[in-house]
């Protein structure tokens, strides 16, 4: 395989936003009168905002009408936005910048494929928007991961066939999305929890392109 493009998930791959999502969702759970644990929060990784809310409501055994559901999603996002306002480039996960620069220097195209509707804001806070040739975020897709739409759109905009794309993902739904799109995929995190990736790495520290090319040669 010749890697022509790398597609990156944002949350949990480029930056660790999971704790901000968690605190925001926990505040909603607190207001609704039930406990939402960090373990429960794991179920929300890679999942869209509205699906996350549905999972949260199931955990709390709460049923709400459509209007309340919309209001809760807006409220959660307002909490989340208040946390990420103060985000800085120092929060970019170790090795990410070096790896992105190495890809660029080697002529490999770079895309972002994220469920988050806040992707552009976060990329700007981290000052790395220009490192991506294309950004496909939650505002641009109608089908959430594990549907491959976000990655297929990224590949199409880059003009690269899915089989020449390598996806980096920290969530099972994202790995499944890459697979469903016929792409190669490297998981970021713990191999015990991430299934069906070609390889699973802890992060980008000490990772370089030669290493990855050797895995796919
Ligand atoms: C994903 C996160 O990247 O984006 C999920 O892993 C989150 O936890 C989803 O729910 C949607 O994010 P946002 O910023 O649009 O609420
Ligand atoms: Mg993620």
Whole-number Å distance between alpha carbons of 35 and 60: 7
pLDDT band per the 50, 70, 90 thresholds, residue 83: very high
* CA–CA separation, 188 and 81 (whole Å): 25
Mutation probe of ligand 1 site: the residue of 8, 10, 11 with most atoms within 8 A of C-beta: 11
Q: What is the mean pLDDT of residues 7-19?
A: 96
Ligand 1 centroid distance, CA of 21 (Å): 8
Q: Which residues surround ligand 2, an ion (CB under 5 A)?
A: 9, 11-12, 46, 170-171
- Of the pLDDT bands very low, low, confident and very high (cuts 50, 70, 90), residue 14 is very high
CA of 44 to the centre of ligand 2 (A): 9
Separation of CA 19 from chain center:
14
Structure confidence by residue, pLDDT tens digits, 125-180: 999 999 999 999 999 999 999 999 999 999 999 999 999 999 999 999 999 999 99
Per-residue confidence at 2, pLDDT binned at 50, 70, 90?
confident
Write the residue with the smallest CA distance to atom 6 of ligand 1: 46
pLDDT in tens, 36-71: 999 999 889 999 999 999 999 999 999 999 999 999
Please tell me what DSSP assigns to residue 13: T
Atom 2 (ligand 1) nearest CA = 46
pLDDT at residue 165, as a whole number: 98
Q: What's the rounded Cα separation, in Å, for the pair 62 and 22?
A: 18
| Cα dihedral sign, 150-106-164-203 | negative
As for ligand 1, residues whose beta carbon falls within 6 Å of it are 10-11, 21, 44-49, 52, 77, 114-118, 138, 171
Task: List, edge to edge, every strand of the sheet that includes 199-201.
Answer: 134-136, 109-113, 5-8, 165-169, 184-188, 199-201
Residue 1 has pLDDT above 90, yes or no: no
């Amino acid at each position: 395989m010749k890697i022509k493009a790398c597609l990156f998930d944002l949350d949990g791959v480029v930056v660790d936003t999971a704790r901000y999502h968690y605190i925001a969702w926990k505040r909603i759970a607190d207001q609704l009168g039930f406990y939402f644990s960090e373990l429960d929060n794991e179920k929300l990784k890679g999942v869209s905002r509205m699906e996350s809310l549905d999972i949260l409501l199931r955990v709390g055994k709460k049923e709400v009408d459509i209007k309340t559901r919309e209001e809760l999603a807006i409220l959660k996002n307002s909490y989340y936005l208040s946390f990420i306002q103060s985000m800085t480039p120092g929060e970019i996960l170790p090795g990410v910048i070096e790896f992105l620069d190495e890809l660029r220097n080697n002529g490999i195209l770079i895309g972002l494929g994220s469920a988050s509707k806040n992707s552009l804001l976060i990329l700007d806070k981290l000052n790395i928007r220009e490192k991506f040739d294309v950004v496909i975020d939650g505002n641009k897709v109608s089908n959430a991961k594990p549907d491959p739409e976000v990655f297929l759109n990224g590949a199409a905009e880059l003009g690269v066939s899915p089989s020449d794309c390598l996806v980096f993902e920290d969530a099972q739904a994202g790995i499944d999305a890459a697979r469903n799109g016929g792409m190669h995929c490297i998981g970021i995190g713990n191999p015990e929890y991430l299934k069906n990736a070609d390889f699973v790495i802890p992060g980008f520290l000490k990772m370089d392109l030669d290493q990855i090319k050797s895995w796919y040669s």
